């Protein structure tokens, strides 16, 4: 009986130690995640909200670009544009988006410790004139600066972040957050480009 009690007590102690270790690792993971959030990510480029003149436009995109379309529509609304599918003066077609991941530094074992992320978006712009004067201008190739239908453009943003191989879940979550921030910046750049086209 004494031997049984001793073994039972040992198992209880081991279980408590194991639980403490799990809690400790969880705490360290959370602390590392917040540290990475605070100082481990650097976005190349400035975040500046663009504005658009009063114009009615729509955004068209395939299903796999849903997040980009929603983000662009959100920022277009903030920029003062009328996002509508009814008689739009301008249509933005989001065509493609891709992420490239490149290791910048490695540890002594050859494992990456810092990554560069490059997010690129491709799109086209189509203007539709609603009055004779604008149509005459758009049809005059010598003076028109408006892009032709299906003319393709591309924009990209690059960021870097520290990667901890021992905290994979936190690192992966941070990578998703970085891509989200890069997408937000790209949509701002796209609106700035639209503003240049509209005012041309």
- In angstroms, the CA 121 to CA 115 distance is 20
Tokens 């299906």 locate to 150
Q: What is the pTM of this model?
A: 0.65
Q: List the chain domain ranges.
A: 1-39, 43-199
Residues in the chain, overall count: 200
- pLDDT tens per residue across span 10-45: 656 665 655 555 455 545 544 544 444 444 444 444
Q: Is 45 exposed, middle or buried (0-12, 13-18, 19+ CB in 10 A)?
A: middle
Helix (H) or strand (E) holding 41: strand 41-44
Tokens 């933005």 locate to 92
- In angstroms, the CA 189 to CA 45 distance is 10
- pLDDT tens per residue across span 38-75: 444 444 444 455 567 678 899 999 999 999 999 999 99
* CATH fold for the domain made of 43-199: Double Stranded RNA Binding Domain (3.30.160)
Contact yes or no for 128/89 (Cβ under 8 A): yes
């Amino acid at each position: 009986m004494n031997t049984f009690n001793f073994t039972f007590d040992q198992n209880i102690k081991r279980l408590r130690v194991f639980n403490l270790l799990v809690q400790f690792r969880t705490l360290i993971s959370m602390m590392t995640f917040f540290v990475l959030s605070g100082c481990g990510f650097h976005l190349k480029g400035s975040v500046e909200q663009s504005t658009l003149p009063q114009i009615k436009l729509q955004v068209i995109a395939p299903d796999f670009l849903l997040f980009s379309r929603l983000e662009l529509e959100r920022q277009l609304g903030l920029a003062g544009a009328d996002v509508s599918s009814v008689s739009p003066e301008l249509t933005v077609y989001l065509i493609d988006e891709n992420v490239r991941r490149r290791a910048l530094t490695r540890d002594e074992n050859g494992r990456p410790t810092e990554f560069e992320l490059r997010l690129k978006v491709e799109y086209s712009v189509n203007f539709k004139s609603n009055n004779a004067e604008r149509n005459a201008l758009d049809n005059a190739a010598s003076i028109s600066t408006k892009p032709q239908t299906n003319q393709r453009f591309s924009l990209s943003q690059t960021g870097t972040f520290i990667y901890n191989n021992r905290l994979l879940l936190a690192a992966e979550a941070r990578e998703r957050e970085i891509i989200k921030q890069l997408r937000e910046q790209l949509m701002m750049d796209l609106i700035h480009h639209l503003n240049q086209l509209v005012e041309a």
